[in-house]
Chains A and B, each alone.
Chain A
């Protein structure tokens, strides 16, 4: 059976995961290990006027109790946001100070103010309860739309009115003029609900300071250990890079929330130096709800203009984005360049303007979560198209088709240039698979059972494979977004691939091996993937933004190009042939058209014995490469949701969910389908169930699975998944990426289906039975009044 590109190879990593033998950060046990427990503010906004540690320090087994003044006193720097955004007036964003342990003020419920280091986790937690913090409570603001109100409590001194930036993209005047002269304008208010990421493994860290070597080692739940090391070193001044090793072992999911460097990792490193102990911290689920960066939380007004022929003329978006109490690592870019650059969707829209005001609130910091800005953009354009079709009384699929971009490359008015796609083909495939033609009959049959059946479309597009370094640099990024790889062929012919990408559920240990197996014909079990350790892999930018295929694998391809060239030179020398005549096939290196050949392992051995290499050739067979993409990639597709609503209860049942995706080249269809399943499940979660709730005082109300509803098996349907492939022209494998599509495309499809079923667009996410039922009553009342 093939193990190359396109094969449904079973995941190599699953054996250890499903037999409980994965090695996660919490499984790491160091000698002389102590445990950290954080003392957290129960107030959303309060001055810290005093910390009495005496009772905690007096407890048996307590090693030390440390606070923010000690931390800053030792020169540990503030947490930073790594992407500079400028306001429309040219001023830089207002980044408030964020100390890993709050010194003067706590700004959200869960803000750490002190840490207890103790012999056991239980003692640390008990002692944390004995640390008496005096708070002087301040008024708090929890909601994006209240943060800008005159007189709202100010959270950071350098952010007057809680405004972080007032950013614009596109042409305002031209857009407003085009809207004013449009034959029809859709004008809708949308809320993109705040979500908690909920990876299965909560965050954890084990930090060890080696006094003899003046060196730190940090095991942590990171999606990007090299970026963590860079930031910990360059900005937080924990240790210089060569004195800091960061290891992200098996990581149980991230969805973006493990990109960032949080106060806890910094504190554990510093506390390890302070106490001379290894310091371990593992979040419990309650801490995860309270401190993991949340996602989404946008309030928007969207206006979409049409001419008399139903062609889109212009789009204007005005958004307030809630960034929480502090600016997390990539928080600034999520509602701007990762978001507004996708306003055009799959449509030719000549005029686009967007304004995003980012605000502080007394809530957990908000940052990228699966999709990162793109789900918010997709929700806007796809809800607006659906509402437009209803208002214009035309078929929603045909309205979309009429406005599709059909020629590539296509330059949008919002920076991005789409390089390839087949939007009409995606739509056709989805409509055929979903049997849209038979929908009317199914609707009638449902009506006979008293059920309301609805069909909703979502034609999503995203920008992935982030990204050309020069491009993101010009837009404010503090880092480049290339990827690195090293391919080592051992003397026995087995191969190790070192990658700067990080796998935390994506199956890299399988797919990355497949491209090597495909290229050199070696058995997949002879290839292993090394990642997640800054001492082993020289550098890498990590995994997020569906970039590991398009960028990470491209770096491996570049390294394999170099290996191939050297292998051919060795073979040509040994087989006395011309390099151009050498081919690599089925694990053999041959002279084309002859029976002269060497086995793959013989080349490896030749490279390392160096007994008979071409003159001037260095021994060994190891090559590295850095790959910087030349463009984003643009995965796109059509999702169709079919739902049944029970008008008596408001309960929505998703009957059928059809996805037709264009992900470019697919390495392993089974893994790609798994990514779509997971992404769509999260998208359905956002559409139907999930909502982080704060009360007016900034208290987190949804702090457990009793109150935060995650999708369960019976909330999601079986999926129909189709592929319609156009290859990405910008990278050697033609990969576009698939990790986020489901979470981006699903929410509008589901909401469009429910609103189709109930006959009103006055419905917000999550569409809980209560909301759906209320919307139905509202629609009935309105109809009666008319």
Chain B
């Protein structure tokens, strides 16, 4: 599955960058995230509960930040194991552009794959679910950074054929 999107966030770039590296912020924003623990400067352990179509699972996995170009971009990659439900893994290239008006444009490009029961039963739902989750994450993220502002999205997440 491939997905791209762009969000305009009502906060300066440095602030957005800090939030993107703060496990507490990420935990609050990732839908279904029950635990997110920083295990080193660039790695996290996470537990996330998700339901995709008929498959509900608790994913536990490791997340790593690579290609870090503070405060402009990083790649967040990880892999989660949902036991008998299967697994998911992927990476997102995230870039922050300073708009010069105390707002930041965040753009991302995701490539993810799923396996096991998730693939067998949920494939047709993965794209729409991922889109929904991405939307939710950025809604949360935006609300966290600028609690009073309405979320402004320039571009809804776009699916691309896998």
Q: Are B113 and A699 in contact (CB under 8 A)?
A: yes
Least Cβ–Cβ distance between A11 and chain B, in angstroms:
36
For residue A199, CB closer than 8 A to chain B, the reply is: no
Show the binding face of A for B, using Cβ within 8 Å. Answer: 42-44, 109, 128-129, 286, 289-290, 695, 697, 699-704, 706-707
A42-B87, A129-B84, A286-B120 known, 12 other contacts, Cβ within 8 Å:
A42-B86, A44-B115, A109-B119, A128-B84, A695-B113, A695-B119, A695-B162, A699-B113, A699-B114, A699-B120, A700-B120, A701-B120
Q: How far is the CA of A700 from the CA of B120 in the complex (A)?
A: 5
Q: Taking A129-B83, A129-B84 as contacts, is the C-beta distance between A286 and B121 under 8 angstroms?
A: yes
For residue B131, CB closer than 8 A to chain A, the reply is: no
| Residues on the A chain within 8 Å of B87, using CB | 42
The 4 closest A-B pairs by CB, nearest first: A703-B120, A42-B116, A699-B119, A129-B84
| Residues on the B chain within 8 Å of A128, using CB | 84
Q: Taking A129-B83, A129-B84, A695-B162 as contacts, is the C-beta distance between A43 and B120 under 8 angstroms?
A: no
Show the binding face of B for A, using Cβ within 8 Å. Answer: 83-84, 86-87, 113-117, 119-121, 123-124, 162
Name A43's contact: one of B115, B117, B124, B162 (CB within 8 Å).
B115
Name A703's contact: one of B84, B113, B121 (CB within 8 Å).
B121
| Residues on the A chain within 8 Å of B113, using CB | 695, 697, 699
Q: Are B120 and A697 in contact (CB under 8 A)?
A: no
Least Cβ–Cβ distance between A133 and chain B, in angstroms:
10
Q: Are B120 and A290 in contact (CB under 8 A)?
A: yes
Name 11 A/B residue pairs within 8 A (Cβ), A-sorted.
A42-B117, A44-B115, A109-B120, A289-B120, A697-B115, A699-B115, A699-B119, A701-B120, A703-B121, A704-B121, A706-B124
Q: How far is the CA of A297 from the CA of B118 in the complex (A)?
A: 24
Q: Taking A42-B86, A128-B84 as contacts, is the C-beta distance between A286 and B117 under 8 angstroms?
A: yes
Least Cβ–Cβ distance between B58 and chain A, in angstroms:
11
Q: Are B119 and A706 in contact (CB under 8 A)?
A: no
Q: Are A700 and B119 in contact (CB under 8 A)?
A: yes
Q: How far is the CA of A294 from the CA of B54 in the complex (A)?
A: 25
Least Cβ–Cβ distance between B41 and chain A, in angstroms:
26
Least Cβ–Cβ distance between A747 and chain B, in angstroms:
25
Q: How far is the CA of A704 from the CA of B119 in the complex (A)?
A: 10
Name A706's contact: one of B84, B86, B121 (CB within 8 Å).
B121
| Residues on the B chain within 8 Å of A707, using CB | 123-124
Q: How far is the CA of A407 from the CA of B17 in the complex (A)?
A: 83
Interface-central residue, B113, B115, B121, B162, by most chain A CB under 10 Å = B115
Which residue on B lies nearest to A289, using beta carbons?
Answer: B120
Q: How far is the CA of A166 from the CA of B86 in the complex (A)?
A: 36
Least Cβ–Cβ distance between A740 and chain B, in angstroms:
29
Q: How far is the CA of A42 from the CA of B86 in the complex (A)?
A: 6
| Residues on the A chain within 8 Å of B123, using CB | 695, 699, 701, 707
Which residue on A lies nearest to B86, using beta carbons?
Answer: A42
| Residues on the B chain within 8 Å of A43, using CB | 115
Least Cβ–Cβ distance between B143 and chain A, in angstroms:
35
Q: How far is the CA of A703 from the CA of B125 in the complex (A)?
A: 13
Which residue on B lies nearest to A129, using beta carbons?
Answer: B84
| Residues on the B chain within 8 Å of A701, using CB | 119-120, 123
Least Cβ–Cβ distance between B42 and chain A, in angstroms:
22
Q: How far is the CA of A553 from the CA of B106 in the complex (A)?
A: 74
Which residue on B lies nearest to A693, using beta carbons?
Answer: B123
Q: How far is the CA of A699 from the CA of B121 in the complex (A)?
A: 11
| Residues on the B chain within 8 Å of A697, using CB | 113, 115
Least Cβ–Cβ distance between B133 and chain A, in angstroms:
20
| Residues on the B chain within 8 Å of A289, using CB | 120
Which residue on B lies nearest to A703, using beta carbons?
Answer: B120
| Residues on the A chain within 8 Å of B121, using CB | 286, 703-704, 706
Name A109's contact: one of B83, B84, B115, B162 (CB within 8 Å).
B115
Least Cβ–Cβ distance between A115 and chain B, in angstroms:
14
Which residue on B lies nearest to A130, using beta carbons?
Answer: B83
| Residues on the A chain within 8 Å of B119, using CB | 109, 695, 699-701, 703
